[in-house]
Amino acid sequence: MNDLYKLNSDVSCCWSCKGPVIKHALFCPTCDVIQPPSDIDHFVRLGICRCYVLDLSELDRQYFHFQRLLHPDKFVCHTSKEQILSQAQVTVLNEAYETLKNPLKRAYYLLRLSGCVDIDLITKTTNSDLLMEIMEIHELLNDADTVDEIKVIEDQINAKMILCETSLEKAFVKENLDIAVELTTRLKYFKKLFEESSSRKIYITGINI
Ligand SMILES: [Zn+2]
């Protein structure tokens, strides 16, 4: 918990013993009672630095560490208020983890933190080059008759997604939000294509049985 203390020096008051508690501490240092979730961003909640490309094993490690501390099973012999707080803490922890482990959700989240508001609207593209690129892959998928053919297309989509993710990191580091929006849009469309390819594989497997 000492690391968490270093991240934010704001002090609030423990709901149970009224002693001082660092704003986003999980437990009161005086009475050790669980505290309500504070209004902090997902990166701070999971104790990782705010960047686009994450060390996913570190993300997992942090998530499971906090989950072990906060899990409702640990509070079955505690007061009902502590049980409710544990559930509330786990809910926001899960939301943070689900958002940060997903490359597209993470990009959306970072855009939101950077002040972009209506992200669904800004990531709807009218870029004819991108639409053409998507349409071409879409047609390749529709024409593919075997799972192996689809796997080749999936590799291409995957390579494009990885390129988007690498470029997104640079765009966020340089705080170049226009480029970040453009790349998030590309990522969104390629992710959709990847989902399409999975459906196509199921369809082909089905008709070949
Ligand atoms: Zn206390």
pLDDT in tens, the chain (209 residues): 444 444 446 888 999 999 999 888 999 999 999 999 999 999 999 999 999 989 999 999 999 999 999 999 999 999 999 999 999 999 999 999 999 999 999 999 999 998 876 676 666 777 788 889 999 999 999 998 899 999 999 999 999 999 999 999 999 999 998 899 999 999 999 999 999 998 888 888 876 54
Structural domain of 186: 117-208
Taking the centre of ligand 1 as the mean of its atom positions, its distance from the CA of residue 23, in whole angstroms, is 13
| Structural domain ending residue among the three candidates 101, 125, 152 | 101
Bridge partners of residue 117, in order along the sequence: none
Residue whose C-alpha is closest to residue 33's, from 91, 86, 88, 94: 86
Q: Is 78 in the same domain as 125?
A: no
Helix, coil or strand: residue 71: coil
Ligand 1 centroid – CA 79 distance (Å): 14
pLDDT at position 208:
57
Give the count of domains, the chain.
2
Residue 107 inside a domain? The answer is no
Span from the CA of 69 to the centroid of ligand 1 (angstroms): 17
Residue that finishes a domain, picked among 66, 101, 136: 101
Q: Is pTM, for the whole model, over 0.85?
A: no
Of 106, 126, 102, nearest to 180 (Cα)?
A: 106
**Ligand 1 mean position, distance from CA 144 (Å):** 63
- For residue 154, the CA-to-ligand 1 centroid distance in Å is 53
Tally Cβ neighbours within 10 Å of residue 141: 20
**How much distance in Å is there from the Cα of 161 to the middle of ligand 1?**
47
Q: Domain of 161: which CATH number?
A: 1.20.1280.20
**Is 30 within the bounds of a domain?**
yes
Centroid of ligand 1 to alpha carbon of 22 (angstroms): 11
pLDDT value of position 85: 97
Ligand 1 centroid vs 49 CA: distance in angstroms? 28
User: What is the 29 CA–ligand 1 centroid distance (Å)?
Assistant: 7
Name the helix (H) or strand (E) containing 21: strand 20-22
pLDDT of residue 84: 97
How far apart are the CA of 58 and the centre of ligand 1, in A? 30
- Gap from CA of 44 to ligand 1 centroid (Å): 22
- Could you tell me if residue 112 is inside a domain? no
